[in-house]
Amino acid sequence: MSKANRILPVAFFGILLSFLVLFGLRVQDIHPLETVTPAPEESAVTWNGLWSGGWQTDYSVALQEDFFGHNDLVRFYNQYKYSILHELPGNWIIGEDEYMFYGLQTESYVCGSRAAMGTEADFDAYAKEVRAFQDALAVRGKSFVYMLEPAKCIVYEELLPWNYRLIANQYADDADSNYAMMITAFQNNGVQYYDMTSDLLALKDADEHVVFANTGHHFTPYAASVGLNQMFTELAPEMPDLDFPTIEINSLTNEVFKIDTDIKIASNLWFTRAGTVPETTTFTYSHTSENSVYLFGSSYGAEVRYCLYSAPGVAAFNNFLFQQYFTSTTNCSVTDGATASLFTSSSTPEDMHMAENILRADLVMVDQQPSEGILLTHQNFFAYMNEYFANEYYEEGEDLIMMESSLPSVSFTSFYEAEPWGRWMNGTESSINVNLMPTDVERMNRGELTLTGRSVQGTLVMDVYVNNHFVNEVSFTDTMTTISLPMNGEWVAEDNTISFVVREGACSPFVAGLSEDARYLGAGMGAVVITGGED
């Protein structure tokens, strides 16, 4: 055999043996890949696993991604696809001028009504939820705006790959597309929204490179600032109580080729025009508004956050708090500096103190880029907050005793768990905290406090206080009795404590020889109801 023909077997087995030896020595790959889920671990050897082939499969799967050279082979594959086939790995597509787009979002946009996430009725129901949230904020003296941000494929439609462009030309403007249905639903339901699309398209006409980075998924902070400035200008007359700053560019750098958090997949190539993260645009503001702003949003919100809080002590608002999906919180204020608290993806709104953060703000913003996943997250957000608001304040006539202790409007101190008939006081002093809507306070001061209760045995005498004001003394017997107490003072506030102090009659049923219950019980409260007086 000629030497020329020896190249192949030598190279072939040389390559394979190198991998085998390095695998055998468990040499780890040096350069990790970006945004890749960790390789699954090998499972323990079990008889069942061997019998069914499950262990063998697990081992093969684990090895598939965990051998020396794996990452460089992946990079080689990605580079080949990028350089020769003009394609990107994962869910990314590459269009003209090396512009990268997120595939799923782009597909959804170009397919128009064929990619609709729901029906007109679905979007109408969503808009109603948003409107309910907006109204609840208004009652609490807060303003709201729903920001719509265009996806990159909307701004740079002409740079999409040829097949996406052809489809977009035909379907993207469908009246039944997600975007069109959402706008219609918002308009029909009176939702306060602002659509940045026309602002960013105008910006692109002026300078096509500054709206989205070529290799970025997010709009640039510069583009965000242009959109925000326009939005603040439009909102100012409608929100006269708020003070809006004007965002000014301090320094503008070329952000065309950067790798932002969503396009790190481009780091899994050897050579792209996506470089390392460069210096970015910095901002100043005409003044720092005294207002506090809360933003619930998507990853685009990070750019919004960046252009509203340029550096410690340099901010557009006195306080700006950004919560991204249900995962992270970034709190920026003029005096404290930017602090970021990161939570796991299984965070609950309670863990994130979502409601408290919203209630501290003067202006609440929600940002939406067109994406099904984000819409679903936002649906959860509005559902949660609307339920919170529905339960934030006590509703007149409701029985406080049977309300769940987890609700924001009520909490119990020194009461046992609710039973079907009511709750026992734990000892001689117990209280109930109840929040009233500010507009209800005055009426409740002219209203009635109705108590239904009983003793363990005999007569129980108890003093009733509202916010440390003595209301009256009540007596209960061992059968349920209802007593109404007028509230004729200025005792009631937004945040109230109704206290019960037993002077005589508290005892243990066990000691009294009545049952096995050894607890020391005060009054057994069947109902506590506040009703308002005449206006």
User: Which stretches of the chain bind other proteins, using CB under 8 A?
Assistant: 1-9, 11-13, 15-17, 19-20, 23, 50-54, 56, 59-60, 63-65, 67, 70, 73-74, 76-78, 80-81, 85-87, 89, 107, 111, 114, 163-164, 166-167, 170-171
**Toward other proteins, which CB reaches closer, 32 or 53?**
53
Rounded to whole angstroms, the Cα distance separating 89 from 100 reads: 11
Query: Least distance (Å) from other proteins to the CB of residue 114?
Result: 6
Question: Residue 136 Cβ, how far from other proteins at the closest point, in Å?
Answer: 41
Nearer to other proteins, 165 or 218 (CB): 165
Q: Closer to other proteins at the Cβ: 63 or 202?
A: 63
Q: Strands 429-435, 410-413: parallel, antiparallel or unpaired by DSSP?
A: antiparallel
Distance CA 149, CA 215 (A): 18
Taking the complex as a whole, the smallest distance from the CB of residue 7 to other proteins amounts, in Å, to: 4
Closest CB to other proteins among residues 16, 514 = 16
Query: Which C-beta is closer to other proteins: that of 108 or that of 225?
Result: 108
Torsion of CA 178, 182, 183, 188, to 10 degrees: 140
- Please check whether residue 239 is in contact with residue 143, taking contact to mean a CB–CB distance below 8 angstroms: yes
**What gap in Å lies between CA 169 and CA 399, rounded to an integer?**
60
Burial class from Cβ neighbours inside 10 Å (0-12, 13-18, 19+) for residue 226 reads buried
What is the enclosing helix (H) or strand (E) of 461?
strand 460-466
CB-nearer residue toward other proteins: 45 or 236: 45
Beta strands in 245-394, from DSSP E residues, in sequence order? 247-251, 282-285, 289-297, 309-311, 314-315, 317-324, 328-333, 339-342, 363-368
| Cβ at position 81, least distance to other proteins in Å | 7
Whichever of 60 and 439 has its CB closer to other proteins, that residue is 60
Buried-exposed string 444-457: b where 16+ CB fall within 10 A, e elsewhere: bbebebbbbbbbbe
Structure token digits, residue 197: 């699309």
CB of 3 to other proteins, least distance (A): 7
Nearest approach, Cβ of 44 to other proteins (angstroms)?
Answer: 16
| Least distance CB 43 / other proteins (angstroms) | 14
Distance (Å, rounded) from C-alpha 485 to C-alpha 478? 20
